[in-house]
């Protein structure tokens, strides 16, 4: 009887030791999400669907994998906590590699010629405001605020 109780406690302890780091990691990951803009990856259709359902504008990061200023945006402006809070609250955010999947078709449709191109669309997919090239976090927030006023 004592052996069964000890074995049960032992197994519970082992499970606790195994599961605890994963729980802590998941909580840390969730906390980190609020410190960067959360993007839908490469799905304009999903962005339109969510924007329509939530009645929000869509923020598009149109990028190319080889683009230095695009990488800089991802490493700095998109990870700024003020910009992240603003964009995650007010927009459906989508990052689209303009050279893969639907990217080339969208680039032609939108008339894109340089990257990064940042575009804000209405919930129905009509362009509201655009910007070409790298912008810092403060400029990014002002860009979003200007779009919301239109």
For 97: left if phi > 0, alpha if psi spans -120 to 50, otherwise beta; the answer is beta
26 with 57, same domain: the answer is no
Q: Which domain holds residue 5?
A: 1-33
29 with 44, same domain: the answer is no
Predicted confidence (pLDDT) at residue 11 exceeds the cutoff of 90 = no
Bigger pLDDT: 100 or 4? 100
50 with 6, same domain: the answer is no
88 with 107, same domain: the answer is yes
The tally of domains found in the chain comes to 2
* Residue 42: φ, ψ to 5°: 55, 40
Predicted local distance difference test score (pLDDT) of residue 28: 42
CATH no. for residue 69? 3.40.30.10
Predicted local distance difference test score (pLDDT) of residue 4: 55
* Residue 34: φ, ψ to 5°: -75, -10
Residue 40: which residues within 8 A CB-CB, separation 6 or more? 46, 47, 50, 92, 93, 94, 95
Determine the average pLDDT of the residues in 38-52.
Answer: 97
pTM as predicted = 0.78
Predicted local distance difference test score (pLDDT) of residue 1: 57
């Amino acid at each position: 009887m004592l052996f069964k109780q000890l074995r049960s406690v032992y197994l519970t302890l082992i499970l606790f030791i195994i599961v605890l780091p994963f729980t802590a990691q998941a909580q840390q990951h969730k906390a980190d999400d609020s410190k960067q803009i959360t993007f839908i990856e490469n799905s304009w259709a999903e962005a339109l669907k969510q924007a329509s359902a939530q009645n929000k504008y869509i923020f598009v990061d149109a990028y190319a994998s080889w683009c230095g200023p695009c990488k800089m945006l991802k490493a700095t402006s998109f990870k700024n906590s003020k910009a992240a809070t603003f964009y995650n609250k007010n927009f459906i955010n989508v990052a689209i590699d303009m050279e893969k999947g639907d990217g080339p078709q969208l680039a032609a449709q939108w008339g894109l010629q340089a990257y990064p191109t940042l575009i804000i669309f209405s919930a129905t997919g009509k362009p509201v405001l655009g910007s070409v090239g790298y912008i810092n976090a403060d400029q990014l927030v002002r860009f979003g605020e200007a779009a919301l006023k239109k």
